[in-house]
């Protein structure tokens, strides 16, 4: 039973919308769209644009369903953390039953769209991503190991693979290169957040790396991962998926991320960790935007 809304409380629509973690989903769909664009040589025709639009909607629905399911599983944890205590499930504004039904409806609709109007491979890959994030990562990995982000990052790296599969009906090596970039980007991105939210994670009981191994070790891991990420981001150019425009962006963004990581390691502050986290978002968005521009301009 939904609790009675207090004066000034969000509307029911906004409460359900908040469950979908809109900003995260926007980045997921954007990365999937890049996979779709790169899978189509030249300018897409009307039928390909229509296919991409349906695929984006289907992926959005299933990703939103996974986010809502995550809110059920982590309801108790969310209530203990300042970053997530506002969520409707954590505040008791929406019940677990309501959230579960909402998640199931979104997942069913999204899966049906992908299966019947895109292709079965995309549907199964997207559903596997749902299970990987909502069950394998959230239920199993996250509460058990400080390497949760590293292993669970595979689910978060799937969007460009889904996009590629939607347009081609298969998974090519180009899509796997894009997968690798996001997979390598995920640990330093989340560990920067975990550094300045370490007390929240400690209070919640989650074994995030700064809690189990300390700040200095985590910062060193961020440095190492950003260096490997830098190399990984050059692979689309080496493979021939992109040209010099993307290469220039990869070098600039990659060098910037490494600089942030280096200073974070040598002279830590919560503010610098926040800036590193924010830059990681700019890094990934800028990198994939450069791929998009490179594809059409050169």
Structural domains for the chain: 9-171 (1.10.357.140), 172-298 (1.20.120)
Indicate the pTM of the whole model: 0.88
> What mean pLDDT value characterizes the chain?
90
Comparing 135-139, 184-188, 222-226, the range with the smallest average pLDDT is: 135-139
Token pair for 197: 């939210």
The residue-averaged pLDDT of 186-211 equals 91
d(CA 69, CA 115): 21
Give the pLDDT confidence of 99-123 residue by residue, as tens digits: 999 999 999 999 999 999 999 999 9
Write the CB contacts of 280 (distance below 8 Å, at least 6 apart in sequence): 185, 188, 189, 192, 257
120 alpha-carbon distance from chain centroid: 23
Residue 10: the pLDDT is 61
């Amino acid at each position: 039973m939904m609790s009675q809304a207090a004066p000034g409380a969000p509307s029911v629509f906004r409460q359900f919308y908040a469950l979908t973690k809109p900003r995260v989903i926007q980045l997921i769909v954007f990365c999937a769209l890049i996979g779709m664009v790169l899978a189509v040589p030249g300018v897409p025709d009307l039928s390909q644009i229509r296919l991409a639009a349906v695929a984006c909607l289907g992926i959005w629905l299933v990703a939103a369903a996974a986010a809502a399911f995550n809110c059920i599983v982590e309801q108790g944890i969310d209530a203990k953390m300042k970053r997530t205590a506002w969520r409707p499930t954590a505040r008791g504004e929406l019940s677990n039953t309501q959230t579960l039904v909402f998640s199931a409806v979104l997942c069913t609709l999204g899966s049906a769209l992908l299966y019947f109007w895109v292709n079965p491979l995309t549907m199964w890959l997207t559903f596997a991503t749902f299970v990987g994030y909502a069950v394998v990562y959230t239920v199993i990995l996250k509460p058990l190991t400080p390497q949760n982000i590293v292993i669970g990052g595979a689910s978060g790296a799937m969007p460009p693979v889904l996009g590629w599969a939607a347009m081609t009906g298969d998974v090519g090596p180009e899509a796997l290169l894009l997968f690798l970039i996001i997979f390598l980007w995920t640990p330093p991105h989340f560990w920067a957040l975990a550094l300045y939210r370490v007390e929240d994670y400690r209070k919640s009981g989650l074994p995030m790396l700064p809690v189990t191994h300390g700040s200095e070790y985590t910062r060193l891991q961020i440095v190492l991962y950003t260096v490997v990420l830098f190399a990984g981001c050059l692979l689309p150019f080496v493979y021939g998926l992109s040209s010099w425009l993307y290469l220039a962006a990869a070098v600039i963004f990659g060098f910037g991320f490494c600089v942030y990581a280096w200073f974070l390691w040598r002279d830590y502050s919560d503010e610098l960790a926040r800036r590193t986290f924010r830059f990681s978002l700019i890094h990934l968005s800028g990198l994939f935007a450069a791929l998009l521009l490179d594809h059409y301009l050169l």
